[in-house]
Amino acid sequence: MLDLSKRARAISPSPTLSIDAKTKALVASGVDVINLSVGEPDFATPDQASLAAIAAITAHFTKYTAVSGILELRQAIAKKLFEENELKYTANEIIVSSGAKQSLYNIFMTILDPQDEVLLPTPYWVSYPEQIRLCEGIPVPLFTDESTQFKITPEQVERAITNKTKAILLNSPSNPTGTVYTPEEIQALADVLARYEIYVISDEIYEQLTYDVSHYSIASIPVMRDRTFVVNGFSKTFAMTGWRVGYVAAPEHLIQAMSSFQSHTTANPSSISQKAALGALGTFDRSTVTEYRKRRDFIVSALSRLEGIECVKPEGAFYVFPKASGVIGRKLTRPNGEKHVIESVDQLCEYLLTDAHLSVVPGTGFGAPNNFRISYATSLTNLEIAADRLRTFFDHLE
């Protein structure tokens, strides 16, 4: 058989999507699985977005648009960034893409040469390292754990910088940990970064979902603005995962380079989705944050009652990332008397799916093999059932 490229062979499929596929297969076979694996809001897309999309179709707004997105949308995003984030960008400093995932890939393709290093705090969102590798860069992990609430320190950043360091990735609020950096912590990181020629990729896609501290963008620090790519999108805030709209704000020369790249790959994001995004802006309903907070408090308290589980209370996004290394070595007894030793957290997640009918994502793909990720973007009723199943499962561990 003919070979695939080294690039294609080096890539692993998204673990979040593959656990989702296993879950769906189990559901299709009639099993009632509670799915806590997907990073997708359970709220509906706002009507304003859907109606704008329908109007776009009816008006035959169904042709190619400007590669970087329609001017109206880029202007509306600039207004949003100014009003909500105190960030000043013109429409020419914004590019709209088919999801923030594409925005990130465009950035890596635009700034990385082979062997360039990107500082990547762990635990990280699964696609960052794979995208960096696809662009022939090297992800350099900055390890964090529960002891610092999963936050990197300025000293850690300074120690990791080499003459190959091209960029650092910041993701606050974070997927998978829910960690949110305070303005003071962001400033302390900026103080170090400002001394070096390093780009900052600031993935702010969960910015609206914070509970105890407010989101703060590193691009609002004047010295950082011209080296920062602010990444955001409509998937999480507006429950618009399927519409595929993300964007980047950065200095114009960087946006132009990304636009050239995008012009030869996907060209513009869907014309209809762009109109939907325009309809969505400004409609974020803050009551969703209250709802997420209730769910977070419920699931964190349920997890804290399980022996062998350690759980930091997240301050943002809609994930918890418990540590489960305390469960390794324990034995699961099945109703038929079979006993199975749990040898890793990956295996624990498999047993949770097959025996407790709970779908969660193992931390390995996030660079944290002792943890697993629960998404609480599901109803409180589902979380209550999940908590019961977890308790029963843990009751059968020796």
Positions touching ligand PLP (CB under 6 A) are 39, 99-101, 125, 171, 175, 203, 205, 233, 235, 241, 246
Q: Which tokens go with 178? A: 């829910």
Shortest CB 308 distance to ligand PLP, Å? 27
Q: Closest CB to ligand PLP among 137 and 269? A: 269
Ranked by CB distance to ligand PLP, the top (closest) residue is: 99
Q: Closest CB to ligand PLP among 246 and 363? A: 246
As separate numbers, helices (DSSP H) first and strands (DSSP E) second, the chain gives 14, 14
Shortest CB 37 distance to ligand PLP, Å? 12
Shortest CB 398 distance to ligand PLP, Å? 36
Residue type, 189: L
**Pair 309, 327: CB distance under 8 Å:** yes
Q: Closest CB to ligand PLP among 109 and 356? A: 109
Q: Closest CB to ligand PLP among 216 and 393? A: 216
**Pair 120, 141: CB distance under 8 Å:** yes
CA angle at 37 for the pair 170 and 292, rounded to the nearest 5°: 70
**Pair 231, 201: CB distance under 8 Å:** yes
CA angle at 245 for the pair 244 and 247, rounded to the nearest 5°: 145
**Pair 267, 64: CB distance under 8 Å:** yes
Q: Closest CB to ligand PLP among 17 and 194? A: 17
Euclidean distance between CA atoms 112 and 135, whole angstroms: 7
Q: Closest CB to ligand PLP among 211 and 351? A: 211
Shortest CB 286 distance to ligand PLP, Å? 21
Shortest CB 130 distance to ligand PLP, Å? 13
Shortest CB 126 distance to ligand PLP, Å? 9
> Around 388, how many Cα atoms within 13 Å sit in the side-chain half-sphere?
6
Q: Closest CB to ligand PLP among 233 and 363? A: 233
Shortest CB 195 distance to ligand PLP, Å? 27
Shortest CB 184 distance to ligand PLP, Å? 23
Q: Within its chain, how far is the Cα of 42 from the centroid?
A: 16
Q: Closest CB to ligand PLP among 246 and 365? A: 246
Euclidean distance between CA atoms 18 and 350, whole angstroms: 12
Euclidean distance between CA atoms 300 and 286, whole angstroms: 21
- Which 8-state DSSP code applies to residue 139? E
**Pair 361, 349: CB distance under 8 Å:** yes
